[in-house]
Amino acid sequence: MQIWIDADACPVVAKDLIIKTAIRTEILAIFVANQSIKLRKSPWVNMAVVGQGFDVADDYIADNVQAGDLVITADIPLADAVITNGGKVLTPHGVEYTKDNIKQKLNARDFMDTMRGSGLLDPSEMGGQKPYGDKDKKALADGLNRLVR
């Protein structure tokens, strides 16, 4: 098992927790992003810098993930690809995507995309993502502990 992290949008607090988990469990954590990010030095932590462009990091993860690997991402299409390939998915907020819930999430995402694209939904009215808090950190820690066993 390896842990793949869609690092471009992953909160710093979540990155630190993932690194601590990787070192404690001696499972390789690979952070994938369009630019290098500062990470704690460890043989259990790697950085993969990919080219610029839309979904380049996601495509890299989808192309390299193996069955049984864990991917940390909030990207629903990437999560769907990982699950299809036999991997596990956990969001930085500790939500696990599975075969049982990913299609519903993907359909909801596509519906919202259609609504925004047709002008029926103003993106500025959506409010954005909530700040990363202690509940998110605990949910991620619990999810990591459960999935890396």
pLDDT, tens only, 100-140: 987 777 766 665 666 666 666 565 565 556 788 899 999 99
Q: Which domain holds residue 89?
A: 3-98+130-147
In a domain, 21, yes or no: yes
Q: How many domains does the chain have?
A: 1
In a domain, 37, yes or no: yes
Give pLDDT tens digits for 53-89: 888 999 999 999 999 999 999 999 999 999 999 999 9
Q: What is the reported pTM?
A: 0.84
Give all strands of the β-sheet with 3-6 in edge-to-edge order.
45-49, 29-33, 3-6, 70-72, 88-90, 96-97
Token look-up 């098992």 returns 1
83 contacts 89 by C-beta, under 8 angstroms: yes
In a domain, 114, yes or no: no
